[in-house]
Structure 1
Amino acid sequence: MDDPRPTTQGAEPALVIRGLVKRFGDKVAVSGLDLDVPSGSFFGLVGPNGAGKTTTLSMATGLLRPDAGEIRLHGVDVWHDLVETKKLVGILSDGVRLFDRLSGIQLVTYAGLLGGLPREVVAERAADLLQLLDLESAGGTLVVDYSAGMTKKIALACALVHAPRLLVLDEPFESVDPVSAANIRDILDGFVSSGGTVIVSSHAMDLVQRMCDHVAVIAEGRVLASGTTDAVRDGSTLEDRFVELVGGRRSGGGPEWLRHS
């Protein structure tokens, strides 16, 4: 079944990557990667551990300088205009430390002020976001005392406060309870339906298949397949198609000593 959320036909892509390369010593993490993310899409980026997903997203959002290649975010050359890039993108990076000695409301306020917003606008938006993410009662609590799920939600609030055109989320549902995950998905669906673009990196194939209208499979720093989710999975489940593309599945039921019948 086709996804009911249409991408913006004929619009400039939200993200265009050409010939992206990144090395760490002798290791090539990203190897000549090309990728197009349509405007207005809910785009999933999947791949095995070490595939280059996080490295690619870090370069695409101005957090890590590439060794070679071109990245354009809504037409802006990322590494020639980092200030404009930061205005266009909101980032939730997996495992990145927050200023967790601030309270929740202080952290979102700080993020908004860093984005150049007037204080009165930041105050209004921070209050709206805490209500939207069911964090009102925890607004005065230090982030260091938040649960993993609450921390993920306050990080999402920081990514949204400056009203970006593109959201880049690395494992946004990890450690998040099912109710919070459903609420976050609703917020992201609303963001996309109002014209925004979301890129989500995740290992949860079923979630990506249900949530994303476009997907790219990355392995060894290259794109193996990219397009609409239905086209990439090609009549199979996304998980089976992923394993087929990436390889490495071991057949058999394990060693004899693990069998009890």
Structure 2
Amino acid sequence: MAQFEKEFRYLCRQINSLSNGQAHASYDNIFNHSNSSARTSISSSSSESDEPTSSLGFHIEITPQDGPYAHGSYIFRIEASTDGDYPEYPPIVSCLTRIYHPNIDTTYQNYYNNVCVSTVNEWNDGTNSTLEDILQGLMFLFHSPNLDDPLTSNITSDEKEFLKYVRISIEGGLIEDFDQVDIFEMNYGYKRYLMEQEKQYIEEGEQLDDHLVNILTREPNYKELFNADTLEFLMNTTSITHSTRHNKETFTNS
């Protein structure tokens, strides 16, 4: 597995420039170091999947800065068998974060080998294919999801409706008939982004817009997420009175 480790070390050195600051990689399971708010939107344990135990892998977290999935964060596990067949055979790519995406199937709590990415499908025996190609393929999926060739039939083919559902899945809400767990909890990366935004607003003494307040206060435990100054600021914002409903009607109207 020397080639796998060599490519991983190279990827770690170059990943910031390769992803324009939108990704980072670690041998450690990023999930294990995520805070409690992150764990609500990530697979609870890889041991619950069919993941093989004889493998060498690492994790990549991608946080798109723009596009349909802007400011959401998603964790992937990239692994190769320790039997020594890398790079002859492509690595297995698994998304551990629940997502609404035509080419990533996390429906029904499927968190193993659930990503359809061209750089894996077109793997060239390691001759011209590397872990860097895997990263580029994943980045491409977030900016150009392929609705014409979906991995799961649960995704709408209507582009306008699709974009609406993507935002619901990130901001938290209900997507009818998606899978047996219809309500998406707010994506942990997006929650982190909002907390950074509200901190900046308060430091600059600016008024939060209604949409941001609505999202910030949508979580039932939102009072536990922010400091005293933030809560006072939010409580003095008039729109808070109509933004704290956390039920099916609110999700449907989001």
- Relative to its length, the structure with more strand (as a share) is 1
TM > 0.5: no
Name the TM-score, length of structure 1 as normaliser: 0.29
Structure of greater relative contact order (alpha carbons < 8 Å, 6+ residues apart):
1
Name the TM-score, length of structure 2 as normaliser: 0.29
